[in-house]
Structure 1
């Protein structure tokens, strides 16, 4: 046996992944089948009656809004990875989100799909790692900012605010500010970056070393190298990434409002936005695939608390989930198929980039690290709340 147990395949047993999938999917089904009508104080019969009344014009119009939201997110991806085209970003978005929606906390699966597609197009492991981290942080910050905006909108509109909404906004604000402070500190301070790298190496380094087959950089060295790259990407791509997040959440909010209006819910736009913000924050709860069930139950509680009619509110929530979660599965399969059929065109090519490359960290002047060394980062934790959700 090799020292340190390197000769042993210590990958996670398949039955644990299968058990996680079964339990998470079962919980999601239970929360949807029982929790949603329970918290909305209605029944599935009443809920389905409102869905049956939808016209084809409603269905097609809502689908167009969903596509617009997905296209906007491509600006976040292209801003985080120089040389990535918008059609490529759309394929990555739908395929990665679909993969991440298959398992509870499916961020690793979504990140793996994204990584494989990027590599097939010729992007380097370091650039991919930087993109995953930066786009992941941008995604989390956007979701954490929504409850703060929601409570602000309610206050400005003079609408009543349930205590639960206020508590959710406070939690979102604190977590978001903490993440933003850490992110800025890592970029601005070499000491913070080094400390973060050492902590990550201590916590997740053993996990990385379980799956790699030859010596490579530690997580701390990668973090030190990524610091310069992250700062460069943020400096050159923050406008595109921010525009993408605003457009993505903007179209999703419009989709949320129109889904509820189509099923007969009549509330103020301020109340709609507060409920939407709570739902987007709850997608980060990775106990079910894509946060399904948890998100719908929490959104139902908020809408009913704001005075929405019970059955129409539950029907609108289900309709929104169909567009933001279920339809992403066939779209992801289609995106994966298109990638598989066209990836040969990019074999051996290096993507064109209009950005100057940042200086390489002195500790990492060797050639690009092998593809199997991809440091887990915020992207892996945020992919459990995939963009489409």
Structure 2
């Protein structure tokens, strides 16, 4: 059966009777997230680094205008470079479409607590309007999340190794780097097994279907097992073809983001060793996994500033540099991505209003197709799935 004929995944939504409860829960989460963010920044950041807000503010105020413009340009180049990985994860996706998806998704995620799901729903609507299938998007989400996770695990390993190489007397740091390398190798090996094993994919899909049945959904676990096998086969093929672009795009993005962080620290007068800058960036990647606040705001700033201070950076400069950096990578993404989202919605409505029915006798051009796959043949199982 061809991949394109598989049932397409749906984005979960609240049922009509529970819409009010969903809205109340979303409001409570938003207020809680904003409260935690404000508490972490206003109260936690000065105490974590040992500097007053007056010192931090005076340091930020000393940044020249041309310096902010240069940092903004570096930030723009960085987000454009990220489209290399995104476009590679969905064959047929253009770079400008990837840029629109990344910025609108980031704007939603940075605004709402647990906003990653909402950002994914927005991106799903976009790719469907552009003619991609639900299977295309599910594969895209799987590949990009896998690559992001591997990098988030790998960056701390590289950071600790770099710091250990520049501080040979730190035996504890050296052994931490060794254990981290072993952990990363285990994760990479596990990901490789999952991408190559039909048996694991079918078993995982079947068990997920059984859990859905227990949760009250009318699904067929056998169909879910088959769909999981198709997705594994399709995803493994994409990774085999596109892994050089996926890796190169992510590496370029990491380099530019680290350069942006170093530029922000230089702008506030802190001359920091590149290994220390990279360690702070790696800490951000781990801390960004915290989803209690929108975009992990507050948690990331306190954690990154704490790492810099612990590695010898003056407290006012560390806090000021992190706030400027997060001003670009977090705060600026909200108006930029929000404006892009409004433009996309207005443009879509305008196209819907201006559309005219096509006469039956008129020649209609076929809709563009993106990627065709050979039919997936479900292997004869030599095992029993519980």
With over 3 angstroms needed to count, the CA separation of the structure-2 counterparts of 1:175 and 1:350, relative to structure 1, is farther
Counterpart CA distance in 2 for 1:81 and 1:319 is 33
Counterpart CA distance in 2 for 1:43 and 1:180 is 43
For the 8 Å contact 2:106–2:337, the answer to whether it is kept is yes
For 1:305-358, what per-residue CA distance to the aligned partner results, in whole angstroms no more than 9, with x for missing partners? 1111110110001001100000000111122133234447799974553x5524
With over 3 angstroms needed to count, the CA separation of the structure-2 counterparts of 1:202 and 1:181, relative to structure 1, is farther
Partner of residue 264 from structure 1, selected from 266, 269, 276? 269
Is 2:142 the partner of 1:128? no
Counterpart CA distance in 2 for 1:9 and 1:180 is 44
Aligned residue-pair number: 353
| CA shift for structure 1 position 265 | 1.6
Structure 2 equivalent of residue 379 of structure 1: none
1:194-213 equivalent positions in 2, closer than 5 A? 194-203=202-211, 209=217
With over 3 angstroms needed to count, the CA separation of the structure-2 counterparts of 1:87 and 1:26, relative to structure 1, is same
TM-score, length basis structure 2:
0.82
Is 2:375 the partner of 1:359? yes
Counterpart CA distance in 2 for 1:26 and 1:42 is 22
Structure 2 equivalent of residue 230 of structure 1: 235
| CA shift for structure 1 position 254 | 0.3
Counterpart CA distance in 2 for 1:170 and 1:31 is 33
For 1:168-218, what per-residue CA distance to the aligned partner results, in whole angstroms no more than 9, with x for missing partners? x689767655543333222211111122223433456777949xxx99985
SS class of match (2:82): helix
Asked which structure has the greater RCO (Cα within 8 Å, sep 6+), the reply is: 1
For the 8 Å contact 1:92–1:335, the answer to whether it is kept is no
Is 2:262 the partner of 1:253? no
Structure 2 equivalent of residue 76 of structure 1: 85
Is 2:19 the partner of 1:15? no
| CA shift for structure 1 position 226 | 0.5
Q: CA RMSD in A?
A: 3.1
Partner of residue 155 from structure 1, selected from 137, 153, 164? 164
| CA shift for structure 1 position 118 | 0.5
1:110-125 equivalent positions in 2, closer than 5 A? 110-125=119-134
TM-score, length basis structure 1:
0.81
For the 8 Å contact 1:229–1:358, the answer to whether it is kept is no
With over 3 angstroms needed to count, the CA separation of the structure-2 counterparts of 1:143 and 1:235, relative to structure 1, is same
With over 3 angstroms needed to count, the CA separation of the structure-2 counterparts of 1:146 and 1:7, relative to structure 1, is closer
Counterpart CA distance in 1 for 2:184 and 2:118 is 25
Could you tell me which runs of 5 or more consecutive residues in structure 1 were left unpaired when the two chains were aligned: 1-5, 364-389
For the 8 Å contact 2:258–2:278, the answer to whether it is kept is yes
| CA shift for structure 1 position 112 | 0.4
| CA shift for structure 1 position 249 | 1.0
SS class of match (2:295): coil
Is 2:36 the partner of 1:27? yes
